[in-house]
Amino acid sequence: MNALEKAFDPERFRAEGHRVVDLLADMLRSEAAGEAAVLPWASPEDELAHWEGRMAGPPQPPSDFIAEVIARSIKLHHPRYMGHQVCAPAPDSVLAGLASELLNNGMAVYEMGPASNALEQWIIRQTCGRIGFSNGDGFLTSGGTLGTLTALLAARSKMAAHGQETAVIASEEAHYCTARAVEIMGGDRHGLVTVPVDDRFKMRTDLLRDALEEAARRGRRPVVLVASACSTSTGSYDDIGACADFCERHGLWLHVDGAHGAAVAFHPGLRDRIAGIERAHSVVLDFHKLLMTPALATAVMFREPGDSWAAFHQQARYLFKEGDSDSWKDSGRRTLECTKLGMSLKIAALWRASGEEVFREHLAAVHALAKDFAAILRSRPPFEVVVEPESNIVCFRLNPPSCDDRTADALNARARREVVESGGFYIVQTVLRGRTWLRAALMNPFTTPRDLSAMLDALEVAASVHETEPSR
């Protein structure tokens, strides 16, 4: 059997596939038990050197190679992973991902992905219904950044004359993808007007008129207001209803960046955080954040179905039939992507296996955990919480009475680095109003208050060591 025949041999695939699933199942069991390191720390230079050496070696069976990758990777299913906003994906969704990868059905045209295109349409209709877009439409795309760019391009196409210099208004705490989209659209730094936030890091909607005047001073026509649901740093939700009122008065397009937080649309008890979202013109929602789907899988939704065509509508006669009235079936006509992954299978498999109840239970668990964590922090000075959490994101820090702000910033950064590099926990950090804060995104529903308390213990130990070090 030559190399090409071996690469496609079904029986070899069967045997290696069984070994890989066993490896992954063992990984799930081990991580759920909190075994081994969350992050087996190695410097970037050492990690690159390791793989340069390994990749230069003799051929290795996929199962052996994958076992080595697992051993050297961060463990998102570990209850002490509390880092970035990336979910611990549900195994049912992962299995569908495996099938989707082997099928390799691109979704730009219906004929190349019939099942995945039809399932995408079902998912979009259901999700539009939860958002409140009773007649809405949309599609899936690869991530919130691409989704936001697509929505803002559609807004500009609908709201501005050709060649007109436009502006986008957003909170100073908005995700950087908004600024990136503005730059891609040719808006440079003058195309984004930022609005200050209040003491809860929510957009100050009382200052939106000032933003209009600032856009005019720059010679720009404001066309879009972006509301965060929720912000990345603190998990704070902007007042979508107030944003909608303002947009209606001034003829602006309202886009809601709900990449992280719009998932609460699936939980009746949490939906009040996005009150008014049904009045938006467009919304993005990441299934790969709070809805347990492997990355990337983002819904881009429009209240008016026709708006979903506004960003991209180029002719490609070798792909798309002129005058076709079935708007949903060839999703490549509305996205930047052409060979688009069959991401709908990952979402639909989990939805089919467990129903929406699994989404509700997950949302309830991680939101409750954030409330518990804030209570623990308040009971443990010198820890402090920047703001009472609205989502599953909690920003906190050590603030010893003996430290000024700059010293406390350095202390928190060093303590975090030591805890992360030890492999015991994974948290990240952010900067709020010039100060360094530690940040936990509680993505794993099986993290417990005991895990959170242990993380604080580790930070205190690391901080006590650094407090006794002589200054340099």
Q: Kindly write down the DSSP assignment for every residue of 212-251, as one continuous string.
A: HHHHHHTT-EEEEEEEESS-TTT-PPP-HHHHHHHHHHHT
Q: Are 208 and 193 in contact (CB under 8 A)?
A: no
- CATH label of the domain that carries residue 381: 3.90.1150.170
Can you tell me the distance from the alpha carbon of 421 to that of 39, in angstroms, rounded to the nearest whole number? 7
Residues 334 and 321 occupy one common structural domain? yes
Dist. CA 472–CA 268, nearest whole Å: 54
What pLDDT shows up at residue 467?
Answer: 57
On whether residue 115 sits in a domain, the answer given is yes
Q: How many angstroms from the chain centroid is the CA of residue 390?
A: 17
In a domain, 303, yes or no: yes
Asked whether residue 268 falls in the same domain as residue 146, the answer is yes
Residues 267 and 372 in one domain: no
Strand partners, 168: 192, 224
Among 354, 385, 411, residue at a domain's last position: 354
Give all strands of the β-sheet with 435-441 in edge-to-edge order.
383-385, 393-398, 435-441, 428-432
Whole-prediction pTM value?
0.94
* Whether residue 368 is found in the same domain as residue 262: no
Tens of pLDDT, residue by residue, the chain (472 residues): 899 999 999 999 999 999 999 999 999 999 999 998 999 999 999 999 999 999 999 999 999 999 999 999 999 999 999 999 999 999 999 999 999 999 999 888 889 999 999 999 999 999 999 999 999 999 999 999 999 999 999 999 999 888 889 999 999 999 999 999 999 998 788 899 999 999 999 999 999 999 999 999 999 999 999 999 999 999 999 999 999 999 999 999 999 999 999 999 999 999 999 999 999 999 999 999 999 999 999 999 999 998 988 887 644 444 445 445 456 787 777 888 888 888 999 999 999 999 999 999 999 999 999 999 999 999 999 999 999 999 999 999 999 999 999 999 999 999 999 999 999 999 999 999 999 999 999 999 999 999 999 999 999 999 996 555 544 3
pLDDT value for 226: 98
- Asked whether residue 272 falls in the same domain as residue 334, the answer is yes
DSSP string covering 299-339, please?
Answer: EEEESSGGGGGSS-----TTT--TT---TTS-GGGSSS-SS
Is 22 part of any domain? Answer: no
Q: Please name which of 234, 260, 237 lies closest in space to residue 394, comparing C-alpha atoms.
A: 234
How many structural domains does the chain have? 2
Dihedral sign for Cα 78, 82, 83, 84, please. positive
| Predicted pLDDT at 333 | 78
**CATH label of the domain that carries residue 208:** 3.40.640.10
Host domain of residue 229: 105-354
**Pairing mode of beta strands 137-141, 435-441:** unpaired
Whether residue 70 is contained in a domain is answered as no
Tokens describing residue 395: 């920003």
Q: Is residue 316 part of a domain?
A: yes
Query: Do 329 and 423 lie in a common domain?
Result: no
Last residue of a domain, one of 322, 337, 354: 354
Contacts of 407 (CB under 8 A, 6+ apart): none
CB atoms inside a 10 Å sphere around CB 181: 26
Which residues are CB-contacts of 73 (< 8 A; sequence separation ≥ 6)? 40
> What is the C-alpha to C-alpha distance for residues 407 and 463, in angstroms, rounded to an integer?
11
Domain end point (choices 354, 382, 411): 354
User: Is there a domain that residue 315 lies in?
Assistant: yes
One-letter amino acid at 232 equals T
Helix runs in 355-447, H state only:
357-378, 405-422
Structure tokens at 428: 């990240």
141 and 217 housed in the same domain: yes
Whether 310 and 365 map to the same domain: the answer is no
Tell me, yes or no, whether 348 and 361 share the same domain. no
220 and 264, same domain (yes or no) = yes
What pLDDT shows up at residue 218? 95
Residue 397 lies in a domain: yes
**Residue 328 located in a structural domain:** yes
Q: Tell whether 309 and 402 lie within a shared domain.
A: no
Burial 19-35 (b: 16+ CB within 10 A, else e): bbeebbeebeeebeebe
Q: 284 with 305, same domain?
A: yes
Please tell me the predicted confidence (pLDDT) of residue 285.
Answer: 98
